[in-house]
Amino acid sequence: MIRHCPVFPALLLSAFYAATAQAEDVQGQITVNADVAASCEVATSGSTTPLTGNFGKLTFDTSSWMSGKPIASAPDNLTITCTAGNAPVVKIDQGENYDPDAKSWRMKNKADGMLDYKLFSDAALATEITPNVDINTKKANPFALTLYGQMQAIPAGKDIPAGSYNDTLNMTISWTG
C-alpha cells in the first residue's frame, strides 16, 4: 500500500513561493579596455592598407639619357602616421653602392657599371636627402613624404653599358613612446 504524505508537496510549494518573493536584481561590472601601443604605419596615396616592407620604388626613364641632362624619376608618395605624441623619425640608408666622395647614391648593373643619382624631398629638387639623417625635420605627424630621384647627367663620351641598373635603399621609421 502506498501512502501519500500531504506535507511534502506543501513544503515544496511554499519554498517556491518564498524564493520568488525574495528575488532581487543582481548587478556586476564588465571591464572594457584597449592597449594602444605607440606605433607608426606607412601608406601610399590612395591605399587603404598599411605597407609593410616595400615602401615603393623610383623608376628613371632613361630613353633620353644621352642628352647630357639629369633625368628625374617618377615620385614615390608615402604618408607616415603615428599614434598621438609620436612624430616619426624617417631615415634612408646609403643603399648598396653609395659614393661618399660624390655624395650620391649609385645604381649598379651586373657588369659593375654605375649610374649616380640623388634623392630629394621636394619637386623643385632643392631639398636633398642625406643618408641616415631624419627627413621629417618639422616633426610632422602625419608626415607626407614625396620622394624624388634625379639621375646625374652622363658625361659626354662616357661609355655606359646597356642593362638593368638597381640599388636597394632601406627606410627606417622610428618613434618614441
Tell me the helices (H) and strands (E) count for the chain, helix number first. Answer: 1, 8
> Which positions ≥6 away from 153 have C-beta within 8 Å?
68, 69, 70
Mean pLDDT of 72-98: 92
Task: Flag whether pLDDT at 34 surpasses 70.
Answer: yes
Task: Flag whether pLDDT at 76 surpasses 70.
Answer: yes
Higher pLDDT, 49 or 7: 49
CA atoms within 13 A on the CB side of 88: 23
Q: Give the three-class secondary structure for 81.
A: strand
Give me the torsion for CA of 106, 110, 112, 118, rounded to 10°.
-10
- What would the CATH number be for the domain defined by 40-174? 2.60.40.1090
Q: Identify each DSSP E strand in the chain by its residue range.
A: 40-44, 71-72, 76-82, 89-92, 105-108, 114-120, 143-151, 171-174
CA atoms within 13 A on the CB side of 112: 0
Q: How confident is the model at residue 10 (pLDDT cuts 50, 70, 90)?
A: low
Residue with cell 620622394: 147
The predicted-structure confidence for 109-124, as pLDDT tens digits, reads as follows 998 889 999 999 999 9
- Following DSSP, what letter does each residue of 146-167 receive, concatenated? EEEEEEPPPPTT-----S--B-
Q: How confident is the model at residue 155 (pLDDT cuts 50, 70, 90)?
A: confident
Give me the torsion for CA of 103, 109, 111, 116, rounded to 10°.
-20
Q: What is the residue extent of each domain of the chain?
A: 40-174
What percentage of the chain reaches a pLDDT higher than 90?
Answer: 48
